Amino acid sequence: MKNGKKPGFGHPIEVKAMNLLTYETLITCSPLFQMDILAGWKGRKNQCQHVVLDEMPREENSFVLFQISDTSLLEKYLMDNHSSGILILSEQACDLPSSITRMANDLKKPLFYLKNSSGEDLYKRIHEIFYLHDHKLLPMIRNDLTTYWLQLFYQKGLEHVMERFNLFLGQEVSLFNNKKKVVPLFPGKCTVKDLKRLKWKDAELEQGKRILSIVHNENAEFYSFEMIAPDGTNMGYLLFEKISHPEDLTLQMLETIVPTIVSWLKQSEMTKSIHLKYKDQFLFDILHNNIDTERELIELGQLRDMEFTPNTFVCSMNLNSHRTITKEIVMDIQQFLIENPLLEANIFTTYLNHRIVAIVCPSTRNASVAKNDLKLWISSVQAQIQGKYSDIKTIVGVGRSHNSILDIYKSFQESKIAQQMEMYGLGTDGLIHYEDIGFVRLLTYIHYDLLRDFSLQYLGELEKHDRENGTELVHTLSAYCAQNGDIARSAESLFIHQNTLRQRLRKIESILDMELHQYTNLVNLILSLKISQDMNI
């Protein structure tokens, strides 16, 4: 203040502290725990010894309280050699020029913001904190870090807590649940691809009763800190980069954050348990196109611990058996699908219209599941079913993968059409891909009688000739069409001379009263053969 006087005091007060106080300690004192850290934070390296309000500091390691009016003054405070940190007090949201935050970072001076209208009261409060610190009485009013994180959590949420915890620790932390799966909200420095390759090793560093384990991937090593609830339950893990000198690491900081994260995890589990009750309805809505936007689908999925990625596709499994398919059997087979280790994907299952439906989401974005991997997975699941329920036969239809997760319903419809192709003899080993059935899938929308009439119109006379004369002209025509009208290859496949094949083809043309080299005639005959042979009509 002007003339060296502080507001609320009858005469100037010289505020001195015998010992340096870290900002990390200061920020845990009420009401300073509500301060936002804007820039310049360097953890325990940031220390202060004095406090001033709206004036240039005269002593080193001064904490400057600045009631914002002119940002040019803020720049002067930062540049001053006596200041070690700046707190901006304002009723309005703090929107600083990027040049100021860059300057704070370059100078390694923490820049804070606190919504506060009374700089005088805050000045007095910090003066009290320095006094108590000098006389080793600060624990009387200071929140320990455990309480600090909890207060911050209930006021601003876990995301804000983790941002500040990262600042205190000096690096980004990843959060895993007790199944060692990353919590998507806090992935830290690890990408999803990195996380898939993480390998957890035995404990390496022990301090007291708490142990750090080593986690590594192809590029780096990390420390893993197990979070234990008061009842002894494993709630998850904190993952952060391994430091070069483990002896410099104190586990006290990690332990202080555990109650806060455990509280959040328990709240999340409670919320998920409620939403999971409606999981089947949610999957029904996805499969029947009842969700409007990708954002809505993603947000609803996160509430149920489900992540949907591009190139997702659907498998539909029919269970054919003389026995009654009970709820227990369905749940067993759903577990076979979800827990089978052969497919690297997130799999969500439900039971709809007497079929088990599996939504298969590739484990990484923009990835796709190889056809051979899918076949191995389905074969393994079918073997598990046969091993436990030998009288159940399964037919699996596979829809195509689609780039947009909103198109999952299309893949579901395709998987059901693929299943129907089993009655026409398509597919192998109880597995049918929609993309493999070609134009036959179009014919399934046409009534049986119409298809039969079409086939008889073009093949009826030839079939009659074969029955009455013991010939194989339909078989000859089928081979000719299968070889795309190539005389040499057709004759070879029939084990006859090319001239013999030409004679048979002329006979076919005579019986059917059409020329085979005409494109329209050939298409009609190919469709008729498909209906008669592949669809068994």
Q: What are phi and psi of 22, to 5 degrees?
A: -75, 145
More confident residue, 254 or 83: 83
Asked which of 95-104, 201-210, 214-223 is least confident by mean pLDDT, the reply is: 201-210
Q: Is 39 helix (H, G, I), strand (E, B) or coil?
A: strand
Read off the pLDDT of each residue in 152-159 and give the average, rounded to a whole number.
87
Predicted confidence (pLDDT) at residue 4 exceeds the cutoff of 50: no
Pair 50, 44: CB distance under 8 Å: no
Q: What is the mean pLDDT of residues 184-204?
A: 56
pLDDT at 146: 86
Note whether 533 and 451 are within 8 A (CB).
Answer: no
* pLDDT tens readout for residues 255-299: 888 899 988 888 877 776 676 678 888 999 999 999 999 989 988
Whether residue 18 contacts residue 54, with contact meaning beta carbons closer than 8 Å, is answered with: no
The per-residue pLDDT for range 405-414, each reduced to its tens digit, is 999 999 999 9
- Is 279-436 in CATH node 3.30.70.1130? yes
The domain segmentation of the chain, as residue ranges, is 2-143, 159-273, 279-436, 448-534
Least confident of 178-192, 258-272, 369-383, 435-449: 178-192
pLDDT tens, residue by residue, 59-96: 999 999 988 767 778 889 999 999 999 999 888 777 78
Does domain 2-143 bear CATH number 3.40.1390.20?
yes
| pLDDT of the residue at 532 | 81
The distance in angstroms from the start CA to the end CA of the chain is: 98
Q: Is the pLDDT confidence value at 32 over 50?
A: yes
Which H helix or E strand runs over 418?
helix 408-420
User: What is the CATH topology of the domain spanning 448-534?
Assistant: Arc Repressor Mutant, subunit A (1.10.10)
Cα angle 535, 536, 537 (rounded to 5 degrees) comes to 95
Closest CA to 185 of 303, 29, 51: 303
Q: Identify whether the C-beta of residue 158 lies closer than 8 Å to the C-beta of residue 262.
A: no
The Cα 187–Cα 218 span in angstroms is 17
> What integer best gives the mean pLDDT of the chain?
83
| Top-confidence range, 207-216, 383-392, 437-446, 522-531 | 383-392
